[in-house]
Amino acid sequence: MPNKIADEIDEKMDEVIMYLKKIDRRDKVRMWGGLFRGIITIIPTLIFIWSMWYFYENGDDILRKVSTIAAEQATAITQQHGGDLLEKLMGAPDGTVKNTEGVPEVIKLLFPGSGGE
Protein backbone atom coordinates (compact mmCIF):
# COMPACT_ATOMS: atom_id res chain seq x y z
CA MET A 1 0.00 0.00 0.00
CA PRO A 2 2.68 2.55 0.79
CA ASN A 3 4.30 1.88 -2.60
CA LYS A 4 1.03 2.66 -4.36
CA ILE A 5 0.72 6.03 -2.62
CA ALA A 6 4.36 6.85 -3.36
CA ASP A 7 3.86 5.98 -7.03
CA GLU A 8 0.79 8.24 -7.25
CA ILE A 9 2.72 11.09 -5.64
CA ASP A 10 5.62 10.57 -8.07
CA GLU A 11 3.23 10.62 -11.04
CA LYS A 12 1.61 13.82 -9.81
CA MET A 13 5.00 15.41 -9.22
CA ASP A 14 6.13 14.42 -12.73
CA GLU A 15 2.95 15.98 -14.14
CA VAL A 16 3.56 19.21 -12.18
CA ILE A 17 7.16 19.32 -13.44
CA MET A 18 5.95 18.82 -17.02
CA TYR A 19 3.53 21.76 -16.72
CA LEU A 20 6.24 23.94 -15.18
CA LYS A 21 8.54 23.19 -18.13
CA LYS A 22 5.77 24.16 -20.59
CA ILE A 23 5.18 27.39 -18.69
CA ASP A 24 8.91 28.11 -18.73
CA ARG A 25 9.07 27.66 -22.54
CA ARG A 26 6.03 29.87 -23.02
CA ASP A 27 7.55 32.58 -20.84
CA LYS A 28 10.77 32.53 -22.88
CA VAL A 29 8.81 32.97 -26.11
CA ARG A 30 6.85 35.84 -24.54
CA MET A 31 10.09 37.46 -23.39
CA TRP A 32 11.58 37.39 -26.91
CA GLY A 33 8.30 38.63 -28.37
CA GLY A 34 8.26 41.51 -25.92
CA LEU A 35 11.84 42.39 -26.83
CA PHE A 36 11.06 42.53 -30.56
CA ARG A 37 7.88 44.47 -29.90
CA GLY A 38 9.83 46.97 -27.82
CA ILE A 39 12.43 47.41 -30.55
CA ILE A 40 9.71 47.94 -33.16
CA THR A 41 8.11 50.54 -30.88
CA ILE A 42 11.38 52.37 -30.26
CA ILE A 43 12.31 52.74 -33.96
CA PRO A 44 9.53 55.25 -34.86
CA THR A 45 10.25 57.16 -31.66
CA LEU A 46 13.92 57.46 -32.60
CA ILE A 47 13.01 58.57 -36.13
CA PHE A 48 10.68 61.24 -34.70
CA ILE A 49 13.34 62.52 -32.29
CA TRP A 50 15.95 62.61 -35.08
CA SER A 51 13.60 64.50 -37.42
CA MET A 52 12.79 67.06 -34.71
CA TRP A 53 16.51 67.62 -34.09
CA TYR A 54 17.18 67.90 -37.85
CA PHE A 55 14.38 70.44 -38.30
CA TYR A 56 15.66 72.39 -35.29
CA GLU A 57 19.16 72.55 -36.80
CA ASN A 58 18.13 73.17 -40.43
CA GLY A 59 14.68 74.74 -40.07
CA ASP A 60 15.67 78.13 -41.47
CA ASP A 61 17.06 76.60 -44.66
CA ILE A 62 14.05 74.33 -45.08
CA LEU A 63 11.58 77.20 -44.64
CA ARG A 64 13.61 79.40 -46.98
CA LYS A 65 13.54 76.71 -49.69
CA VAL A 66 9.82 76.06 -49.22
CA SER A 67 8.96 79.77 -49.39
CA THR A 68 11.16 80.25 -52.48
CA ILE A 69 9.50 77.35 -54.28
CA ALA A 70 6.02 78.59 -53.29
CA ALA A 71 6.82 82.10 -54.53
CA GLU A 72 8.14 80.75 -57.84
CA GLN A 73 5.03 78.64 -58.35
CA ALA A 74 2.73 81.54 -57.46
CA THR A 75 4.59 83.79 -59.90
CA ALA A 76 4.29 81.20 -62.67
CA ILE A 77 0.56 80.74 -62.10
CA THR A 78 -0.01 84.50 -61.93
CA GLN A 79 1.86 85.01 -65.18
CA GLN A 80 -0.11 82.25 -66.88
CA HIS A 81 -3.60 83.14 -65.68
CA GLY A 82 -3.35 86.67 -64.33
CA GLY A 83 -2.43 88.23 -67.67
CA ASP A 84 -5.79 87.33 -69.20
CA LEU A 85 -7.78 88.84 -66.35
CA LEU A 86 -5.59 91.94 -66.27
CA GLU A 87 -6.06 92.37 -70.01
CA LYS A 88 -9.83 92.09 -69.59
CA LEU A 89 -9.81 94.64 -66.76
CA MET A 90 -7.47 97.09 -68.42
CA GLY A 91 -9.20 96.94 -71.78
CA ALA A 92 -8.19 99.03 -74.72
CA PRO A 93 -6.09 102.19 -74.32
CA ASP A 94 -9.18 104.41 -74.62
CA GLY A 95 -10.69 102.82 -71.48
CA THR A 96 -13.19 100.55 -73.16
CA VAL A 97 -13.19 96.87 -72.43
CA LYS A 98 -12.54 94.53 -75.31
CA ASN A 99 -14.07 91.39 -73.86
CA THR A 100 -16.07 91.09 -70.65
CA GLU A 101 -16.73 87.40 -70.99
CA GLY A 102 -15.53 85.55 -67.93
CA VAL A 103 -15.04 88.68 -65.80
CA PRO A 104 -16.77 88.22 -62.44
CA GLU A 105 -19.69 90.53 -61.68
CA VAL A 106 -17.99 91.82 -58.52
CA ILE A 107 -15.03 93.10 -60.52
CA LYS A 108 -17.36 94.79 -62.98
CA LEU A 109 -19.02 96.60 -60.07
CA LEU A 110 -15.77 97.54 -58.35
CA PHE A 111 -14.14 98.88 -61.51
CA PRO A 112 -16.60 101.04 -63.40
CA GLY A 113 -15.80 101.26 -67.06
CA SER A 114 -14.57 97.70 -67.13
CA GLY A 115 -17.64 96.57 -69.04
CA GLY A 116 -20.02 96.26 -66.13
CA GLU A 117 -22.36 99.11 -67.13
Listing DSSP states for the chain in one string gives -HHHHHHHHHHHHHHHHHHHHHHHHHHHHHHHHHHHHHHHHHHHHHHHHHHHHHHHHHHHHHHHHHHHHHHHHHHHHIIIIIHHHHHHHH-STTS--S--TT--HHHHHHSTTSS--
pLDDT tens-digit series, residues 34-90: 999 999 999 999 999 999 999 999 999 999 999 999 999 888 877 776 666 666 666
Q: How confident is the model at residue 103 (pLDDT cuts 50, 70, 90)?
A: low
The reply to whether 88 falls in a domain is no
The reply to whether 117 falls in a domain is no
The reply to whether 94 falls in a domain is no
pLDDT tens-digit series, residues 26-45: 888 899 999 999 999 999 99
The reply to whether 108 falls in a domain is no
Count: domains in the chain? 1
Domain that holds residue 58: 2-80
| Residue 63 pLDDT | 92
The reply to whether 92 falls in a domain is no
Q: Give this prediction's pTM.
A: 0.43
The reply to whether 85 falls in a domain is no
